[in-house]
């Protein structure tokens, strides 16, 4: 599952640098999470880092993009392979 940022976002800028996959970026009004890049930090950390640092708890599981833990691990491996130049 990818995470999503809801309208309660206060644009505090703390979530974006915490994402190991660069899935978070500024949208038109609030920060957004790219579901193709978000793997909820599986493989990197025990918990999503953006959720840990969010002061207003506006980062939730996106019910429209449910993925298994194995799918999230596959994303992690894909990004690690890409970053190391082994595409």
Check which CATH number belongs to the domain holding 58 and give it: 3.30.70.20
Q: Which helix (H) or strand (E) holds 30?
A: none
User: Nearest Cα to 67, choosing from 27, 29, 39, 30?
Assistant: 39
Would you say residue 78 has pLDDT above 80? Answer: yes
pLDDT tens sequence across 59-74 = 999 999 889 999 999 9
- The count of structural domains within the chain is 1
Overall average pLDDT of the 7-33 stretch: 97
Which residue range is the domain that position 66 belongs to?
3-83
Compute the distance between CA of residue 48 and CA of residue 72 in angstroms, rounded to an integer: 12
What pLDDT, on a 0 to 100 scale, did the predictor assign at position 82? Answer: 77
**In the structure encoding, which two tokens stand for residue 28, read together?**
């038109």
**In the structure encoding, which two tokens stand for residue 38, read together?**
């978000």
Task: Name the DSSP letter for residue 78.
Answer: H
């Amino acid at each position: 599952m990818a995470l999503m940022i809801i309208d309660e976002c206060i644009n505090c800028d703390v979530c974006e640098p915490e994402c190991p996959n660069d899935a978070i970026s500024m949208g038109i009004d609030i920060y957004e999470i790219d579901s193709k890049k978000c793997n909820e930090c599986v493989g990197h950390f025990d918990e999503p880092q953006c959720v840990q640092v969010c002061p207003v708890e506006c980062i939730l599981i996106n019910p429209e993009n449910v993925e298994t833990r194995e799918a999230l691990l596959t994303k992690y491996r894909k990004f690690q392979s890409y970053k190391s130049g082994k595409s």
